[in-house]
Amino acid sequence: MINNKPSYTGDIAAQEIDPTKEYSSENQELDFSAEQHSIWADLFAGVHQPYLLEHVCKEWLTGMELLQLSPKHIPTVAHLNKNITPRTGWKIERTVVRYTLADDWYKKFAQRVFLITDYLRTRDQMEFTPEPDMFHDIFGHLPFLTQEFYARIEDKFAPAYMKATQEEREVIKRLAWYSTEFGLVTQENRFKIFGAGIISGRSEFTHTVMEFYRLGRDNVIDYSKNVYAQLEKHFEKNKKDVHRIIAGVNKLHQKGQMSSEENGWNVIKSLYDNLGISRTGYFGGEVLLAPFDLETIALIPKTVYAFNPMFFVCESLEKMDELLDSYLKPIALRA
């Protein structure tokens, strides 16, 4: 049987877009099929479960109330803008551009325009999609964009990206990926999910929640004590091995060996074995949690269409704001 699924590598290929096919302000609304609305409804129901949502940060839950998404139907752009623009000044626009080179997106970010793709995953990608789709864009990101704190975070990236060197742009993309896309925070002394990529992807969501419980079960984290301080201690003790794992993940990405959910987890397990790192204790889960460390994030491969084996935790959203500023603000302030 021939496998027609693409084998994505660590590099994102440029997407050739016919400018005449891009959406204008007059044709933002689409007529979705009954099957597309049905996929949306099933995706929504699959994630919108109490046993999962208790692990999401409180800001997303607040945003969901403000955004008033229908659990049964894909929202119109007009509905999204009605609930976002008056609150934060950001505007939503549809695009034919799928997640490719970041330049198109950051140019719009500079105008305070958040792009949502016109692509919706198919039935065979319900648990995991190898690229962000409109469910990810809307369900994962837009509840946050109803709130000023998130608008401020998004406002940081474009001014820096537009003035950055090519090398710095790669770091900026990593910082965005491991904060707004796949970041975690601590709230009420618990790990909470912040990143839209985790929230909108049931497999990554459930694997992350399982890791929270495993850390307690295996006595890696004592949830009666400061969880972030414990995570920092484990990370510092094992930093050399963490960096070895990252180097190995980079090579796997470049070979296109992490472009599916199944391959992603299996090759990571094999990587640990090949490196002689015991899959116990801190390294015993399906994902690896680490503090939001700029040096380590800079080593991660640039945005890839693949399962993410490592997530970064900020002590708080205020601390995330501070850490992002430390890298982005000096670049944005250049003449």
Evaluate whether 272 touches 283 at the Cβ level (below 8 Å): yes
The model's confidence at residue 264, banded by pLDDT at 50, 70 and 90, is: low
Choose the CATH number for 1-335 among 2.40.30.130, 1.10.1040.10, 1.10.800.10, 1.10.1740.10.
Answer: 1.10.800.10
Q: Angle 202-217/34-47 helices, nearest 10 degrees?
A: 10
The model's confidence at residue 215, banded by pLDDT at 50, 70 and 90, is: very high
- How many whole angstroms separate alpha carbon 286 and alpha carbon 283? 9
- The answer, yes or no, to whether residue 1 has pLDDT greater than 50, is no
> Residue 265's pLDDT is what?
64
Half-sphere exposure of 264 (CA within 13 A, CB side): 20
> Residue 2's pLDDT is what?
36
> Residue 238's pLDDT is what?
97
> Residue 15's pLDDT is what?
61
**Both tokens assigned to 153:** 């975070």
> Residue 194's pLDDT is what?
98
Average pLDDT over residues 120-144: 91
User: What contacts 168, CB < 8 A, 6 or more positions away?
Assistant: 160, 331
Give the Å distances, CA to CA, from 74 to 95, 134, 139.
Answer: 16, 9, 10
> Residue 220's pLDDT is what?
98
> Residue 253's pLDDT is what?
76
> Residue 23's pLDDT is what?
87
- The answer, yes or no, to whether residue 209 has pLDDT greater than 90, is yes
> Residue 43's pLDDT is what?
97
The model's confidence at residue 155, banded by pLDDT at 50, 70 and 90, is: very high
The model's confidence at residue 258, banded by pLDDT at 50, 70 and 90, is: low
Of 160, 288, 87, 174, residue with least CA distance to 279 = 288
- How many whole angstroms separate alpha carbon 168 and alpha carbon 75? 36
44/261: higher pLDDT: 44
Segment among 178-187, 237-246, 281-290, 303-312 with least mean pLDDT = 303-312
One-letter amino acid of 93: E
Evaluate whether 286 touches 266 at the Cβ level (below 8 Å): no
> Residue 296's pLDDT is what?
93
- The answer, yes or no, to whether residue 5 has pLDDT greater than 50, is no
- The answer, yes or no, to whether residue 182 has pLDDT greater than 80, is yes
The model's confidence at residue 16, banded by pLDDT at 50, 70 and 90, is: low
Query: Where do the domains of the chain lie?
Result: 1-335
> Residue 12's pLDDT is what?
52
pLDDT digits (tens, 9 = 90+) for 217-226: 999 999 999 9
To the nearest 10°, report the CA torsion of 97, 103, 107, 109.
80
The model's confidence at residue 3, banded by pLDDT at 50, 70 and 90, is: very low
**Both tokens assigned to 92:** 């939503």
